[in-house]
C-alpha cells in the first residue's frame, strides 16, 4: 500500500486514478477536502476496494501516526498543499500551515514510523515530496532553463512555502537519513483542474461568455505539462529515483499566457462555435498579479537521462484532450463553481 496525501485534488486525483489503472497496489488517500478537494474526481473508483479514503488533515500528527501504524504503507506520495498563487497573496497563513507545518508533520511522523521498521522494510521505504518549479524564481528571456542545482529564489507566499517544505524534506534526509525524493514540476493542465487556474478558468469563462482575464501584458511565460505525464514521472521517480535526489519534471513547452488563451479560443471555435463570434473577443487585459514571475522553464534532462521518462502528450494533443474533457464534463465545472459537489459529497460519501 502507498499513502497519497491530497489525492482528491487535481494532480492527486489524476495520480490515484492513474495508479489504480496501472498497478494492483492499494492506495490510502488522506485529504482534508478543502475547496480544492473533490471526491467527485474519484467517482469512477466507487466500489473499488483498493482505494481507501481518509478525510483528515496532514497537520494532525495523531491521525498520521495512526494511519502509518495501521496501514503500514511502503511509501508516502505527498501532494497535499494549498496550490494557488493568487490565493496565497490574499491569505498566506493557510499556505504556511499546510505546506510548511503539514509537510513538517508528515516528515516527523514518517521519521518515527521508518525508524521502527526492520532493515529491509526501512531500506525500501520512500517519502516522495511533490513540489514545483516556482521555488526557483523568475527567469529572464535569455536565461537557461531551471536545472536541479539552480538556487532557490521564491517570490510569492505560495512558492516560499513550497521552498520551505522542499528544504525540510532535504534536511530530514541529510540529518536523519529519511529516504526522500523530491520532484519539481512545471505548470500542469488536464481533467479535474479547479477553474481558478489559467487553463480551466479560460475554458469555463469562454463557454459562459464571460471575460477571459489576462494579467499584465500577457507575455509571462509558463512551461506546460499534461497532468498524466506528471503522474507517470512521479511513478518513475518513486520506482527508480535515487534517494535524496531531486528531479525536475517539464514538457519543454514554454508559452506566453496570451498564446495559451488564443489556442484555447481557437479550439473552442472549432469544437463549440459561438454564434456571437470568436471566443478571443472575450480576452480582457487586467491588472497584473503582484510579484508576478516573468518566465519559468524546466530543464528535464536529468529525469530523461536517469529514468528514461518522456511526456506522452505534446501540448497540441494534451490541450485538445483537455478542452474536449471540459466540454464533455460541464456538469463537473458547474458543480465545483456552485458548491454542489459539497452536497454530492454529503449524499455519496458521508452515508458510507
**Could you give the residue numbers annotated as active site?**
133-134, 158
DSSP 148-208: TTSPP---SHHHHHHHHHHHHHHHHHHHH---EEEEEE-EEESTT--TTSHHHHHHHHHHH
Which position among 29, 88, 98, 156 is part of the footprint of ligand NAD (CB under 6 A)? 98
Candidate residues 20, 28, 39, 58; the one interacting with ligand NAD per rule CB under 6 A? 58
Question: In angstroms, rounded to a whole number, what is the distance separating the alpha carbons of residues 334 and 349?
Answer: 20
Residues in 59-78 at the binding interface with ligand NAD, rule: CB under 6 A = 59
10 is an interface residue for ligand NAD by CB under 6 A: yes
User: Which of ligand DAU, ligand NAD, none does 229 bind, CB closer than 5 to 8 A by kind?
Assistant: none
Shortest Å, Cβ 234 to ligand DAU: 14
User: Under the rule (CB under 6 A), what is the footprint of ligand DAU?
Assistant: 83-85, 132-134, 186-187, 197-198, 201, 213-215, 220, 222, 257, 289, 296
Binding mask 269-298 for ligand NAD (x = CB under 6 A): ------------------------------
Half-sphere exposure of 322 (CA within 13 A, CB side): 33
Nearest to 180 by CA among 99, 101, 107: 107
Cα 202 to Cα 210: distance, rounded to the nearest angstrom: 9
- Smallest distance from the beta carbon of 197 to ligand DAU, in angstroms? 4
Partner that binds at residue 246, options ligand NAD, ligand DAU, none, CB closer than 5 to 8 Å by kind: none
Segment contacting ligand NAD by CB under 6 A, of 7-15, 67-75, 118-126, 137-145: 7-15
In terms of CB distance, is 66 or 197 closer to ligand DAU? Answer: 197
Judged by CB under 6 A, does residue 315 bind ligand NAD? no
CB closer to ligand NAD out of 12 and 251: 12
Which of 84/320 has CB closer to ligand NAD?
Answer: 84
Q: How many residues does the chain have?
A: 352
| Dihedral sign for Cα atoms in the order 92, 97, 99, 101 | positive
Of 26, 86, 87, 97, which Cα lies nearest the Cα of 57? 97
CB 30 within 8 A of CB 54: yes
**Nearest CA among 290, 249, 272, 258 for reference residue 327:** 272
Q: Helix, strand, coil % (nearest 5) of the chain? A: 50, 15, 35
Give yes or no for a contact between 217 and 281, defined as CB atoms under 8 angstroms apart: no
**Which residue number, 11 or 265, has a Cβ lying nearer to ligand NAD?**
11
- Interface with ligand NAD includes 187 (CB under 6 A)? yes
Cell 471566443 found at: 279
Query: Of 26, 11, 22, which Cα lies nearest the Cα of 74?
Result: 26
Binding flag, residue 157, ligand NAD (CB under 6 A): no
**Region near ligand NAD per CB under 6 A, out of 54-62, 63-71, 147-155, 232-240:** 54-62
Rule CB under 6 A: say whether 250 interacts with ligand NAD: no
263 near 202, Cβ under 8 Å?
Answer: no
Which of 79, 114, 279, 341 is in the footprint of ligand NAD by CB under 6 A? 79
- 33 is a contact residue toward ligand NAD (CB under 6 A): yes
- Closest distance to ligand DAU from the beta carbon of 29 (Å): 19
Which residue in 3, 11, 204, 264 binds ligand NAD (CB under 6 A)?
Answer: 11
Q: How far apart are CA 162 and CA 21, in angstroms?
A: 29
Which residue in the set 8, 20, 68, 300 belongs to the binding site for ligand NAD (CB under 6 A)?
Answer: 8
Q: Which is nearer to ligand DAU, 9 or 73 (CB)?
A: 9
Q: Count the neighbouring beta carbons within 10 Å of the beta carbon of residue 114.
A: 20
What is the DSSP code string of 3-67?
EEESTTSHHHHHHHHHHHHH--S-EEEEE---TT--GGGGGGGTT-TTEEEEE--TT-HHHHHHH
- What does the binding site for ligand NAD look like in residue numbers (CB under 6 A)? 5-6, 8-12, 31-34, 36-37, 57-59, 79-83, 98, 102, 130, 132, 162, 185, 187-188, 194
Amino acid at each position: 500500500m502507498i499513502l497519497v496525501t491530497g489525492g482528491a485534488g487535481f494532480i492527486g486525483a489524476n495520480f490515484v486514478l492513474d495508479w489504480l489503472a496501472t498497478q494492483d497496489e492499494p492506495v490510502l488517500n488522506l485529504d482534508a477536502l478543502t475547496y480544492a478537494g473533490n471526491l467527485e474526481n474519484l467517482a469512477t473508483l466507487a466500489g473499488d476496494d483498493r482505494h481507501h479514503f481518509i478525510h483528515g488533515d496532514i497537520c494532525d500528527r495523531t491521525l498520521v501516526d495512526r494511519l502509518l501504524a495501521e496501514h503500514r504503507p511502503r511509501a508516502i506520495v505527498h501532494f497535499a498543499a494549498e496550490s494557488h498563487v493568487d490565493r496565497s497573496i490574499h491569505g498566506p497563513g493557510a499556505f504556511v500551515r499546510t505546506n510548511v507545518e503539514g509537510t513538517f508533520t508528515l516528515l516527523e511522523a514518517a521519521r518515527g514510523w521508518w525508524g521502527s521498521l526492520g532493515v529491509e522494510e526501512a531500506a525500501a521505504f520512500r517519502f516522495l515530496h511533490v513540489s514545483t518549479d516556482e521555488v526557483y524564481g523568475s527567469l529572464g528571456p535569455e536565461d537557461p532553463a531551471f536545472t536541479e542545482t539552480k538556487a532557490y529564489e521564491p517570490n510569492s507566499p505560495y512558492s516560499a512555502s513550497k521552498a520551505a517544505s522542499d528544504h525540510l524534506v532535504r534536511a530530514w534526509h541529510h540529518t536523519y537519513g529519511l529516504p526522500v525524493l523530491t520532484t519539481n514540476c512545471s505548470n500542469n493542465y488536464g481533467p479535474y483542474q479547479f477553474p481558478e487556474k489559467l487553463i480551466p478558468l479560460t475554458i469555463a469563462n469562454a463557454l459562459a461568455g464571460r471575460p477571459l482575464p489576462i494579467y499584465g501584458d500577457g507575455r509571462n511565460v509558463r512551461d506546460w505539462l499534461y497532468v498524466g505525464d506528471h503522474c507517470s514521472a512521479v511513478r518513475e521517480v518513486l520506482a527508480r529515483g535515487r534517494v535524496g535526489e531531486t528531479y525536475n519534471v517539464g514538457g519543454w513547452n514554454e508559452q506566453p499566457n496570451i498564446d495559451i488563451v488564443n489556442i484555447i479560443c481557437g479550439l473552442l471555435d472549432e469544437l463549440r462555435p459561438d454564434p456571437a463570434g470568436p471566443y478571443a473577443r472575450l480576452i480582457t487585459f487586467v491588472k497584473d498579479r503582484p510579484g508576478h514571475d516573468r518566465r519559468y522553464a524546466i530543464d528535464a534532462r536529468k529525469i530523461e537521462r536517469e529514468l528514461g521518462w518522456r511526456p506522452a502528450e505534446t501540448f497540441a494533443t494534451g490541450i485538445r484532450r483537455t478542452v474536449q474533457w471540459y466540454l464533455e464534463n460541464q456538469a463537473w465545472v458547474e458543480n465545483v463553481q456552485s458548491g454542489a459537489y459539497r452536497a454530492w459529497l454529503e449524499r455519496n460519501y458521508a452515508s458510507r
